[in-house]
Each structure stands twice: as C-alpha cells, then as structure tokens.
Chains A and B, each alone.
Chain A
Amino acid sequence: MSEKRPMHDDAALDDFQAALTELLARRLPPDEAARQLADDPAFADHRAWVSSFRPALLDTAAMLATFWARRS
C-alpha cells in the first residue's frame, strides 16, 4: 500500500453513531425512542434528520440491531 496519510475522521459523526447504536440496541418503545431522539443532546447535530425518522423504520432498525449488534 502507498505511504500512510492522515485519515479523514469525523469525531462528531462517530459520537452521533455511537449514540444511535446504543439507542437502537435497546429497542425502546416507539414513544420513548422518539422522545430521546428529540431531547437527547447526543443527537443535536442531526436533530432535523432524527426527528423525521419513521417509527416503523426505526423499530425495524432496532430489531436488526438487537440481532446483529455486538459490543467489545
């Protein structure tokens, strides 16, 4: 491989993804999930996006996360 150059990381995106993963893995009731997405500062950077999540699609993602997600 070519010489290493600095990775283009996005720490804020990483934090957001960690928070979303944690929320999905808990598979909360839809109202509780919506409340956390609306109020939790961890989702502030993308509030408009998370506020538009469809409940059925969020629950589907949570179902898949409970099956697939593995923690270190």
Chain B
Amino acid sequence: MRRPPRVGLNFLPEDDFRVAAMPLFEAGLVEAIETDIDARWGLTRDSSDRPTATWHEPMLDHYAAHDALYGHGVWLSFLSGRWTERHERWMERLADECRARHYRHVSEHFGWMTSARYWRNTLLPAPRTRETVALAIDRLRRLAEASDRPAGLENNAAALAPADALDQGAFLAEILDGADGFLLLDVHNVWTQAVNLGLDARALLRCYPLDRVRELHVSGGAWFTPAITGAEPVRMDSHDGSVPAEVWPLVREALAHCPELEVVFLERRGETLATDDARDGFRSDFLQLVAEVDVACSDVEAA
C-alpha cells in the first residue's frame, strides 16, 4: 500500500442507521462514505424518485466536497443478456448524478437480476463464456463513460455451482483487464462462497486479481436453512449481522496483498440497527476495522 486506505461506512438513510453511526461521525472516524447511488431511482419502474431522509443529502455533499464520496450501484443488473430501456434510463440517471456531485469512483454488482418479463429479482451469477466476458467488458466501459469516473465490479456472494466461486476471480480478471476497471472485493462474499461450497476462504481470496482491488467491503450476514432434508445451513450476504470472526483474517489478508487499495467500507442494513446491542456491535465492528487498517499500515512501515 502506498498510503493507508480510508475507512468508511456504506451510508444509508434509515434513522436507525443515523443513530447507530452518528457517534462514529462525531468522533471524526468516518473518513469516507459510500452511497447506494441508485437508491432513489434504481428500483422504481418509472422515473419517480423515492423520498430520502433530510439529513442524507447534506452528508453526501459534505463528503463529496472533501473528495471522499464513493458510489455503489445496486439495481443496474449488470450481466443481463439484453440491454433494455430501463438499463438506458439507469445510465442516464447515473450520468446526471455524477455531474451533480463528485464521486471518487463508481461500482456495480457482478451479476444479473432482470430478464424478459422480470424487472426485479435476486442477484444471480452468470456462466463464464467468451460472449459473457465481451458483454461485461462493453458494459463496464459504458459505466465508466456514463459516470466519467473509474468503474469497478463487486464480486458476487451468490453461487449455484462450484465454478461460480472457483472461476469468479479469473472471470473478473478478464473483464477488468479488458475494460481497465477495478475490483471491489467483498471479503464476506468470499467467505460466504467458501462456506457454502466447502472451499478454503483464504485460497479463494487469492484467486482474485488483488492488484486491481481499489475498495473492500466488510459485512455480516445470516444463515438460511434450505427446504431439503438434512441440508446444511446456507450462508447469505444479507448485511444484517455483525462481521463474523472468520472474516477478519480475510480482511487482514486483503489489507496485506492489495497494493492499490484506497478505501474500506463497513456495510450493515439500516433496519437491522434498531436495538442498542445491534448498534454497539456495529460500532464495535467499525472500530475493529479501523484498528485492522492501523495494524496493517504499521506492518508495512516496519517492513
């Protein structure tokens, strides 16, 4: 690392998030924020914006003015086979947003949700083919053009088959090399796939193009029991829990091996922060993240 990465929060409009996060902001610990850049307009079927909390926009403006605002798309459906009017409107709104406010970079999820008659769905992986790589390179270039910012992709937590985990690093490397994009490495997503497929999480993390990592996500999730007799619980990247103990070694691994890392964000859904325990756990996770970055930077200086 050439300089310490910033430590920040995925910034959400819910009042429970505000209550949980405000002590961190007031202590001056939140060095950057990432906003779900399409939260107001990405999910709606028409052009109507969703309302936002009154405190939200001034915070975005403040961090933008300090060159510390990052944008993360949620609803584009990056790997949908067919580009539709909805996709086109999304890009136009992205362009408008990036002209109105300064973002360091923008990112989207490596997967697809919409197809044919379905305008909304859960995020799913796509098969790795020459055609999908070409499609993704084109899309990532368009994301960069529309935003006029560096554009990147976040590794997917969802897996249906072992290849979705074992090939994802190389799959992303091809696309990022082709479009000169960056990797948003979500370490909980790596751990989720490893757990669900019986893989070594650290080895899986090393399959990713770590030299292209510009951003880390750190989060928690939950367990789901499938409707299959005797099935082991399945891990989900649901952002509704504290960071599992098993994820912190992956954070350290990423901090040690991502030379272009610029920023690290803690993610937690706002509506899961309604209790004092949840809020304490969230703040504790953030403070640990700050400590991990401090240790990693001290190790580099000492070396």
Q: Which of A7-37 contact B (CB under 8 A)?
A: 7-18, 20-21, 24-25, 30
Pick from B24-32, B112-120, B168-176 the stretch touching chain A: B112-120
Q: Is the CB of B117 within 8 A of A13?
A: no
| A17 lies within 8 A of B115 (CB) | yes
Number of interface residues of B (CB under 8 A): 44
Cβ contact within 8 Å between B81 and A71: no
What does DSSP make chain B's interface, helix, strand, loop or mixed?
mixed
Residue of A nearest to B236 (CB): A60
Contact of A56 among B82, B121, B127, B232 (CB under 8 A): B232
Contact present for A10 and B81 (CB under 8 Å) = yes
Given contacts A13-B126, A52-B161, A60-B234, contact A1 B116 (CB under 8 A): no
A8 engages B135 (CB within 8 Å): yes
Cross-chain contact A10 with B120 (CB below 8 angstroms): no
A1–B196 contact, CB under 8 A? no
Contact with B along A37-58 (1 / 0, CB 8 A): 0000000001001101111111
Between A15, A24, A60, A70, the greatest number of chain B beta carbons within 10 A of the residue's beta carbon is seen for A60
Measured between C-beta atoms, what is the minimum distance from A67 to chain B in Å? Answer: 7
A16 CB contacts on chain B under 8 angstroms: 81, 127
Cβ contacts under 8 Å, B82 to chain A? 9-11, 14
Task: Assess whether B158 is in contact with A61, with CB atoms less than 8 Å apart.
Answer: yes
Interface string of B112-154 (1 = CB under 8 A from A): 1101111111101011000110110011000001100000000
Complex: how many Å from CA A44 to CA B289? 45
- Write out the residue numbers on chain B whose beta carbons fall within 8 Å of the beta carbon of A71: 117-119
Chain B interface residues toward A at CB < 8 A: 80-83, 91-92, 95, 112-113, 115-122, 124, 126-127, 131-132, 134-135, 138-139, 145-146, 158-163, 196-197, 224, 226-228, 231-232, 234, 236
Chain A residues within CB distance 8 Å of chain B? 1-2, 7-18, 20-21, 24-25, 30, 46, 49-50, 52-61, 63-65, 67-72
Listed from nearest, the 9 A-B pairs whose CB atoms lie closest are: A14-B81, A13-B81, A18-B116, A64-B122, A17-B115, A8-B138, A14-B82, A59-B226, A52-B161
